[in-house]
Amino acid sequence: MALAEAGARGRLLHWPRVLLFGDSITEYSFQENGWGAYLAERLVRKCDVVNRGISGYNTRWAKLILPRLITGSSSDDSIVAVTIFFGANDSALKDLNPKQHVPLEEYAANLKNMIQYLKSVGITADRIILITPPPLHESAWEKACLAKGDKLNRCNATTGEYAQACVQVARECGTDVLDLWTLMQKNQDFSSYLSDGLHLSTKGNSFLAAQLWSHLENKLSALPSLLPYWREVDHTNPEASLL
């Protein structure tokens, strides 16, 4: 059978999508042992995991670009889950990092704005997961800052305020939330979860992947595997199985 004829006979395959939207902690999630790569591996036969992490971004900038990532067109109908993972940059101290800093009240408003936009294009609240920033290990991050000629420009207590605001927004908007800041600090020494005091280590990536999977598993459990297992394909008449 010619390829054109096969294409005409078969139904177009629509791969559902999970969209990961965030800052560098999301952008780096497809690196080796990254939490995004873990999700992609778990879901490879069910949906695509799309990385839209943008290093250095805060919610002020993120809310502007979200409509350029998800437009509400028919191509977005297949989005089955969206993670919104910001706050590590928003919570930077204003005096020492004014470019990335976003005031706490504006941070919360920006998260609400993004949730409202997603809802407006048909992505329901049950498909949205907010993720709080992880805790900050100040001494390790200070070393990273000093190596660049900067002063310590974040503190864990402030990051915690943004994490609490993120949790509150999720409550108000009816979305799911993963409170990474709190969960990681249940282990008294959370430094092993971080590579430089801010970004995730291999252990931190594994921790986030496991926690996030517990949220996603129920949402995505009903998704079928796309295309039959190879042993189930009729090798004498593959068209019957694959078209």
Assess whether 77 carries a catalytic annotation.
no
Tokens coding 239: 């068209």
- Pick the catalytic residue: 48, 196, 201, 206? 196
Tokens of 220: 């995505």
Catalytic option among 91, 137, 176, 199: 199
Token pair for residue 131? 């993720």
Instruction: Clarify whether 196 is annotated catalytic.
Output: yes
HSE-up of 83 (CA within 13 Å, CB side)?
32
21 Cβ contact partners less than 8 Å away, ≥ 6 residues apart: 52, 53, 62, 66, 69, 82, 83, 84, 85
**Which pair of structure tokens corresponds to residue 213?**
């999977």
For 85, residues 6+ apart whose C-beta sits below 8 A from its C-beta are: 20, 21, 22, 23, 25, 26, 53, 130, 131
Q: Is 29 a catalytic residue?
A: no
Long-range contacts of 65-72 (CB under 8 A, 24+ apart): 66/21, 66/114, 66/117, 66/118, 67/117, 69/19, 69/21, 70/19, 70/117, 70/118, 70/121, 70/123, 71/121, 72/120, 72/121, 72/122
Among the options 24, 191, 192, 201, which is catalytic? 24
Residues with a catalytic annotation lie at: 24, 196, 199
